[in-house]
Amino acid sequence: MPPSDPSEFPWYGLARGTDLEQGDILLGCPRYTLSAAGETVAVVENAVNAVVLTQSCDLVVRANGRSESPDVLLCQFVFKAAVAGSDVWGKEDAWEEARKGRRAPVHVLNAAKLPGLDLDFILVDFHQVFALPVGLVRGFAAGAGDRPRLRPPYREHLSQAFARLFMRVGLPADIPPFARKR
């Protein structure tokens, strides 16, 4: 039977330092993109809000001082208030559909009040995935102070939503129905 008090299963905890886990929320995380003009290519750095998608077991520092994964998979997100005026995300119906998991490319995370930090509802956009070297992300995390971290089972729910987006398969021709229409 689920608890009557949602605080019995808090969505977030706080993390600090270079330790990284799946579900870490990184506010103002660097994101690097390429910009091309003619034959000139430039690297552009932007600060975005992102959540760690790489599984925690792949981010553990081993005895050799390295992680299993050399990179961290991150996904950009926006807060609900930031898209309040948009044609789609300014409507409660769109948020409700996303909350129910009916909009595959996005996932909704709960709002939270943490010591010194209030989080609005979060819209994770799985089309905005990027990777950064694990050392760079650890350095950013160390300088970020206290940061939100999704707790189980909510981080696994995020991971499952991400997997559902990529495991969709559209067949060119399906198996015909077994029952004939009369």
What string of DSSP letters covers 140-156? HHHHT-SEEEEPTTHHH
Of 116, 118, 92, 111, residue with least CA distance to 154: 111
- Summarize pLDDT for 147-172 with one digit per residue, the tens: 999 999 999 999 999 999 888 887 88
Residue 119 has pLDDT above 60, yes or no: yes
Residue 179 has pLDDT above 80, yes or no: no
Going by C-beta distance under 8 Å and a sequence separation of 6 or more, which residues neighbour residue 25? 12, 49, 50, 51, 119, 122, 147, 148, 149, 150
Answer for the pair 67, 127: CB distance below 8 angstroms, yes or no.
no
Answer for the pair 17, 141: CB distance below 8 angstroms, yes or no.
yes
Per DSSP, the three-state class of 21 is coil
Of 20, 103, 107, residue with least CA distance to 59: 20
Q: What is the Cα–Cα distance from 122 to 80, expressed in whole angstroms?
A: 6
Going by C-beta distance under 8 Å and a sequence separation of 6 or more, which residues neighbour residue 43? 32, 33, 34, 35
The reported pTM is 0.87
Region at 54 (left for phi over 0; alpha for psi -120 to 50; beta for the rest): beta
The three-state DSSP-derived secondary structure of 159-182 is HHHHHHHHCCCCCCCCCCCCCCCC
* Other CB atoms within 10 Å distance of the CB of residue 173: 5
- Summarize pLDDT for 120-149 with one digit per residue, the tens: 999 999 999 999 999 999 999 999 999 999
Going by C-beta distance under 8 Å and a sequence separation of 6 or more, which residues neighbour residue 115? 14, 146
Question: How confident is the model over 93-109, as a mean pLDDT?
Answer: 95
